[in-house]
Chain A
Amino acid sequence: SQQGEEDPQALSIQEGENATMNCSYKTSINNLQWYRQNSGRGLVHLILIRSNEREKHSGRLRVTLDTSKKSSSLLITASRAADTASYFCATDAKGSNYQLIWGAGTKLIIKP
């Protein structure tokens, strides 16, 4: 169930800077979702973007989706130390029985 790729694998930036993470996938999708995972915890849903949408915002988060390139990006603006976490993209592939296909994740470290 792991077919997506994310880059970078790890990203370390100063607090206040913007962080961009990318995700690529292989199949046709219904939607693409971004989740955050703090160390040793479960996953928290951030944004769901449907296949017919190109951009979506939620607070300091901005997600784009390019279905022609089968890729998505997650931008976190004005990063904070509390944003330190692993970020995963997941795609709900067509005909998948609600199963998600997960990217490998990006480990984001925000330095205070």
Chain B
Amino acid sequence: GAVVSQHPSWVICKSGTSVKIECRSLDFQATTMFWYRQFPKQSLMLMATSNEGSKATYEQGVEKDKFLINHASLTLSTLTVTSAHPEDSSFYICSASTGDSNQPQHFGDGTRLSIL
């Protein structure tokens, strides 16, 4: 089946550090990748949609300069949390789509980010 690899699984770092999270589709080409944020005991909140080779589309309220997204190839998207602060601590999850609306999204295992 389709596999999406996300790493790191968890990060603990000091306030002010920039953190990069990678999302790779291992056995399929992902024309579209999604980045979500999930707070404890809540549903997924879409942050941005990224299409290969073009700029990401951010959801309302998500700071583009804070959460930099790059989708340089059909198998890799990265999310960089710049100058992270404690309020950025959260669970970040990526998913990938082949672009077929009748196929499910395939999810990475998530990244637990803790900013001290």
Contacts and interface: CB of A to CB of B under 8 A. Distances in A.
Identify whether the interface residues of A are mostly helix, strand, loop, or mixed. Answer: strand
Interface residues of A, number: 25
Interface in B71-116: 91, 93, 95, 97, 99, 101-110, 112
Nearest to B31: A98
Interface in B34-90: 34, 41-46, 49, 57, 59
B99 A48 contact: no
Given A1-B45, A1-B46, A45 B110 contact: no
Given A1-B59, A42-B110, A33 B104 contact: yes
Given A1-B59, A42-B6, A102 B43 contact: yes
Interface of A: 1-2, 30-31, 33, 35, 40-45, 48, 50, 88, 92, 97-100, 102-105, 107
Interface of B: 4, 6, 32, 34, 41-46, 49, 57, 59, 91, 93, 95, 97, 99, 101-110, 112
